[in-house]
Structure 1
Amino acid sequence: MSATDVRVNVQDQYVIIDNGILQLTLSNPDGIVMGVRYNGLDNLMEVLNKEDNRGYWDLVWNAPGASGAFDVIKGTNFRIILQSEELVEVSFTRTWAPSLQGKLVPLKIDKRFVVLRGSSGLYTYATFEHLQGWPDFDIDEIRVTFKLRKDKFHYMAISDTMQRVMPMPDDRLPGRCQQLAYPEAVLLTNPINPELKGEVDDKYQYSNENQDIRVHGWISLDPPIGFWQITPSDEFRTGGLMKQNQTSHVGPMTLAVSTITFLI
């Protein structure tokens, strides 16, 4: 049976790319991943979250001397880069202007999403351009974040030796845990899965060295689905191969992180 051609349907608020295996729904013109349909499941993303809090690019930046600002990157313009039977590539861009000084990072950002014929995955990459004369700034981190359905994805795998059944996000709420030395670390006192009682949950304990971050993600047993973050290379990372970065953690969440510190 031959693979289905890739199709794209552009609507006022949505861009839907479908190859017969996977259906990707993006907001128009924001470029936020609102839905991923696969293997009979209407949406792998957390449907309880708002549509703009499911899958997105984000960054942390600041003007020199100012405090850091968290920015979920939302495009203002959409266009189709390439459309054929074999693939569809779309672009969501946002360009800084002087009226946005202090509000948005001074960059021209182009987020791209690609779906191939016969593929069960999606590709995403971005370019960041700082034009001459634009203000200087510090940028600390750029990430791609996916928040999956908590009613489906319970088993997390970071490596051959780091994989397990995970706590639920509800286990980190008051009444089910005890706050420890810093906000990310809690003692599970009354988890939904009683076998996890007495354990400490801390997203940083699942960090890994850049050189070892290749494939990580989550598994659903019903239906049987794996959601995997695949890192094609280390060219976007800084800090060296032994620099540690986050991977996946309770949410269920999976990340691709470039932790950087420089002044532009």
Structure 2
Amino acid sequence: MTSLGVQLHIQDHHVVMNNGILQVTLSKPGGIVTGIQYNGIDNLLEVLNEEANRGYWDLVWSKAGSIGTTGTFDRIIGTKFSVIVESEEQVEISFTREWNHKDENVPLNIDKRFIMLRNSSGFYSYAIYEHLKEWPPFNLPQTRITFKLRKEKFQYMAIADNRQRYMPLPDDRLPDRCQILNSDFPEAVLLVAPIEPQYKGEVDDKYQYSCENQNLQVHGWICMEPQIGFWQITPSDEFRSGGPLKQNLTSHVGPVCLAMFLSAHYTGEDLVLKLKQNEPWKKVFGPVFIYLNSASDAKDSSPLWNDAKKQMMNEVQSWPYEFPASNDFPPSKQRGNVSGRIRVRDRY
């Protein structure tokens, strides 16, 4: 573990955070994670993708009165960059996009934040969404963070102790290698000519890898050569919709790693956020932690998974974090506690 302090390098079109353990590059002022350098690999993210399609916040929204759980997809691109905290102990940077009535975007002010701490093998991200009272009403079915990793390196996926395996390649979902089982559900495909023959006859569907919120605290991918783990850690459920039994997407063929915040999956329209006329609203999503680890034994992935679970417990025990600089994220001294039992009496 290095003692090098956190360094921030601001370039014409990129911003680089580096603490000697990893280096994270983001577009400026867009706030897209374009590169993650770690353990001798120059970029863990998919270098075959365009920079805007590697690590990003996104949302789905629709106009007020719309029915259903779909809408317009919006990859959130910032228009203004600023430095919030810069010291050897911590860097926090901000990428904002403000709404005006000429925009066709969702009527929200969005502030995406990224944090790197000294001696930390990872980085944090959170965002503040704000809707002013005088702005138009709208629906928000989904928002999340998406990371797309290098397919030639990350082929082993881990969601739980009993849900781990080598995964098919994204190429196996191309039209000449798979068959869509139902046109209404294009996510589910039969692998008929996969690159690796052992996957032939399997059905791949990202919804197979969903998990209840109460068990969805760490998941990710492992690269075997060299042995590297890429993990998405969610230390609290307070910013996720649906409660502990609500299922959310995790990781899936891509290789894709997700942090889901709002989602109507498995529930329908009842869980679509619907902001009404003259309704002000502000919400902090996150922070979540992107954790990286490494090991020397290329034959066994369990040390990386076990270490990721240990790190997850450290993050849970540290919640609520003290380091986010936004006044919209209340630290522990500004929060109360509720304890006790809930008794439900109904006709059953």
In 2: Cα distance, 1:2 partner to 1:175 partner? 48
Counterpart of 1:40?
40
Paired with 2:27 and 2:59, the residues of 1 have a C-alpha distance of 19
Identify the residue that residue 93 of structure 1 maps to in structure 2.
Answer: 96
Q: CA offset at residue 176 of structure 1? A: 1.2
1:154 match: secondary structure: strand
Partner letter of residue 233 of structure 2?
Answer: I
Q: Is 1:83 aligned with 2:86?
A: yes
Partner of 1:252: 255
Secondary structure of the residue that 2:254 maps to in structure 1? Answer: coil
Structure-to-structure mapping, 1:48-59, within 5 angstroms: 48-59=48-59
Residue 122 of structure 1 corresponds to which residue in structure 2?
Answer: 123
Name the CA distance, whole Å, in 2 between partners of 1:136 and 1:173.
39
Tell me by how many angstroms 1:196 deviates.
1.1
Aligned counterpart, 1:3: 3
Task: Kindly indicate whether residue 13 of structure 2 is the aligned counterpart of residue 13 of structure 1.
Answer: yes
Mapped partners of 1:243, 1:205: distance in 2:
15
Amino acid at match of 2:76: I
The amino acid across from 1:168 in the alignment is L
Q: Would you tell me which structure has more helix in proportion to its own residues?
A: 2
Unaligned runs of 5+ in 1: none
Residue 232 of structure 1, CA deviation: 1.1
Q: Which residue of 2 aligns with 1:240?
A: 243
Deviation digits for residues 65-123 of structure 1 (CA, Å, limit 9, x no counterpart): 357100000111100000111110000001100111xx101111100000111111010
Match of 2:102, SS state, is: helix
Q: 1:113-172: CA deviations, max 9, x gaps?
A: 001111110100000011120110000011000000001000000111111000000000
Residue 190 of structure 1 deviates from its aligned partner by 1.2
Structure 1 range deviating more: 173-182 or 240-249: 173-182
Structure 1 position 143 matched with structure 2 position 154? no
Higher deviation after alignment, 226-235 or 58-67: 58-67
* 1:9-50 Cα distance to aligned partner (Å, 9 max, x none): 111100001101100000000000000000000000000000
**1:186 alignment counterpart:** 189
Q: Secondary structure at the match of 1:98?
A: coil
TM-score by length of 1: 0.97
Q: Provide the C-alpha distance between the structure 2 equivalents of 1:68 and 1:184, rounded to a whole number of angstroms.
A: 17
User: Residue 83 of structure 1 aligns to which amino acid in structure 2?
Assistant: E
Specify which of 186, 203, 208 is matched with residue 211 of structure 2.
208
Match of 2:60 in 1: 60
Task: Tell me by how many angstroms 1:53 deviates.
Answer: 0.3
Tell me the amino acid that sits aligned with residue 153 of structure 2. K
Q: 1:225 to 1:132 in 2, by over 3 A?
A: same
SS at match of 2:160: coil
For residues 19 and 152 of structure 1, the distance between their equivalents in structure 2, rounded to whole angstroms, comes to 24
Post-superposition shift, 1:2? 4.7
Counterpart Cα distance in 1 of 2:17 and 2:260: 25
Structure with greater Cα Rg: 2
Moved more, 27-36 or 178-187: 178-187
| Count of matched residue positions in the alignment of Structure 1 and Structure 2 | 262
What is the CA distance between 1:3 and its match in structure 2? 1.2
C-alpha RMSD of matched pairs (Å): 1.0
Aligned position for 1:221? 224
- The 5 Å alignment of 1:153-164 reads 153-164=154-165
How big is the shift at 1:239?
1.2
**2:273 partner letter:** F
Q: Is the 8 A contact 2:5 2:88 kept in 1?
A: yes
Higher mean C-alpha displacement, 169-178 vs 200-209: 169-178
CA distance in 2, matches of 1:109, 1:227: 26
Aligned to 2:171, what secondary structure does the other structure show?
A: helix
Does residue 133 (structure 1) correspond to residue 134 (structure 2)? The answer is: yes
Give the residue type in structure 2 aligned to 1:263. Answer: K
Instruction: Provide the secondary structure at the position in 1 that maps to 2:53.
Output: coil
